[in-house]
A = this chain, B = another copy of it.
Amino acid sequence: MAKISTRQQRIIDYIKGYRREHGYAPSVRDIQIACDISSTSVVDYNLRILQREGVIRRSPDISRGLELVDDDRGGAVEVVSVPIIGAIAAGAPLPVVTSDILQSEGLETVGLPPELTPRVASDLYALRVKGYSMIDALIDDGDVVVLRRTPDIRNGDMVAAWLRAEEEATLKRLYREGDHIRLQPANVQMQPIVVPATNVEVHGKVVAVIRRLE
């Protein structure tokens, strides 16, 4: 995998912007002019390289038959709809996540852009945060947290945890320390808490937080 030159990066950026603005790809000559290239052959030369590197896809002899492989298709993309299966709040149990629930209808959903979407979206779900108890995780009342149901929790992952003894749900970074677990707030100004591992139920890993204002 070779590197991508400044000029090639500029071409990519131009194509991306052009597609966003026009809804179709620029011609070779459009690229030539926009990127200050003296000849269409040089554009072709660089496009050939970008194609070899897998950055773009070209359809031979087709006008503007140019696609970005790692595409946002010029603005239109499949948005993954993730169901908001309930709320998370201190003192209220976390909703149990089952496949049934994930596939059930009628739930409010939140659309995730591709940047926020991991390869597999089927085990994603979302919770709406109630109250201000998650504020040490920099999460406000009304925010939506997107989680992935996974057994693969690593040290440092932000997780949704249920503390049995305290009867409290919380969003914190998790670190295993022997038979205890340290829960570290996202807010660097705040102190971590350490609890016995048996006191913690991990319900999912936080993938994203979305706050809508206005």
Contacts and interface: CB of A to CB of B under 8 A. Distances in A.
Interface string A52-88: 0000010100111111000111111111110000000
A49 interface: no
A61 B9 CA distance: 28
A211 to B, nearest CB: 4
B113 A79 contact: yes
B140 A214 contact: no
B78 A78 contact: no
How many copies of this chain does one complex carry?
2
A33 interface: no
Nearest to A12: B106
A113 B115 contact: no
B113 A112 contact: yes
A79 B81 contact: no
A105 B75 contact: no
A181 interface: no
Contacts of A132: 188
B213 A206 contact: yes
Contacts of A110: 113, 115
A175 interface: no
A66 to B, nearest CB: 7
Given A23-B71, A106-B14, A157 B111 contact: no
Contacts of A17: 103-106
A13 B132 CA distance: 30
Contacts of A95: none
Interface of A: 9-10, 13-14, 16-18, 20-25, 27, 34, 57, 59, 62-67, 71-81, 103-107, 109-116, 118, 132, 135, 138-140, 148, 157-158, 186-189, 205-214
